[in-house]
């Protein structure tokens, strides 16, 4: 059995790589009809310690969808990579890890369809849902959307409806729930063992980029809270990052 994250450094199951906390923003609600327009992955090891993160806006090859929700404008995705261009790197990030999300079946559904569009079937990766964990291990709340669960856990302000902001706070929510006295260790040890033996596909670079050119990333982020009551939250900043390596 895997010890709790609060009890020191746990002994991970053999071969376990940890968790990939994923959030996507999309052009609509249907994975079949709409596209991912932003993605973020926060990597945690088997002891729930941060290992790295990846985030970028994506060119959906069409309208960006509900700007009033995700606050992504059409101009923001100009020059952003298409999903196929980041897909090889994304596969490497997810391989051997438990896929975590808040209402994770939604994020998984969009990822599954995006990979299917480029002819790559996703393997049966273990899923861990922080919405389910919140229902079981947080105080009763008026709802179990991400914002309500974050408030119930006392995690403070975060830049909602940005993929990186949502993924970061979901990682914090995962730690909070898995550290609760009511959470049995098998809630996370079992999926880790399953993820370690799932075979993952590999994918070559996209032909749309020259072999010696990296993939430019466009990232949205804002600093964390919590902020004092009535204080104005900081703005979300759009950053055109250095290019992902030529192998991605």
* Phi and psi based region of residue 161 (left: phi greater than 0; alpha: psi -120 to 50; beta: remaining): left
pLDDT band, residue 236 (cuts 50/70/90)? confident
User: What's the first-to-final CA gap in the chain, in angstroms?
Assistant: 36
For residue 11, being part of any structural domain is answered with: no
Between residues 223 and 200, the one the model is more confident about: 200
116-136, pLDDT tens digit by residue? 999 999 999 999 999 999 999
Q: In what side-by-side order are the strands of the sheet with 97-101?
A: 50-57, 36-44, 18-26, 97-101, 127-129
pLDDT at 230: 61
How many domains, in total, are found in the chain? 1
Q: For tokens 């964390």, what's the residue?
A: 224
pLDDT (average), residues 148-159 = 89
For residue 1, being part of any structural domain is answered with: no
For residue 6, being part of any structural domain is answered with: no
The DSSP bridge partners found for residue 38 are 25, 57
pLDDT at 90: 96
pTM, two decimals, is 0.88
pLDDT band, residue 244 (cuts 50/70/90)? confident
Structural domain boundaries enclosing 62: 16-226+233-244
For residue 173, being part of any structural domain is answered with: yes
Does residue 96 carry a pLDDT above 60? yes
CATH number of the CATH domain containing 150: 3.30.420.10
For residue 2, being part of any structural domain is answered with: no
pLDDT (average), residues 79-105 = 96
pLDDT at 248: 33
DSSP-assigned letter for residue 157:
-
For residue 5, being part of any structural domain is answered with: no
């Amino acid at each position: 059995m895997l010890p709790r994250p609060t009890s020191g450094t746990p002994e991970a199951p053999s071969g376990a790589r940890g968790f990939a906390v994923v959030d996507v923003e999309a052009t609509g609600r249907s994975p079949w009809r709409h596209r991912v327009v932003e993605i973020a992955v926060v990597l945690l090891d088997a002891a729930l310690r941060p290992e790295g993160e990846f985030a970028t806006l994506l060119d959906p090859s069409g309208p960006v969808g509900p700007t009033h929700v995700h606050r992504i404008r059409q101009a923001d995705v100009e020059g952003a990579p298409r999903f196929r261009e980041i897909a090889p790197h994304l596969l490497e990030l997810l391989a051997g890890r438990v896929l975590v999300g808040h209402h994770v079946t939604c994020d998984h559904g969009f990822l599954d369809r995006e990979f299917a569009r480029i002819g790559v079937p996703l393997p049966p990766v273990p899923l861990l849902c922080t919405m389910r964990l919140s229902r079981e291990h947080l105080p009763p709340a008026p709802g179990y959307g991400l914002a309500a669960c974050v408030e119930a856990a006392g995690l403070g302000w975060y830049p909602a409806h940005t993929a990186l902001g949502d993924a970061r706070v979901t990682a914090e929510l995962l730690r909070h729930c898995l550290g609760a006295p009511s959470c049995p260790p098998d809630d996370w040890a079992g999926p880790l063992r399953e993820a370690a033996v799932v075979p993952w596909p590999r994918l070559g670079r996209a032909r749309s980029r020259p072999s010696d050119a990296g993939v430019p990333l466009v990232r949205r982020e804002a600093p964390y809270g919590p902020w004092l009551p009535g204080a104005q939250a900081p703005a979300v900043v759009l950053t055109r990052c250095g290019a992902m390596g030529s192998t991605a």
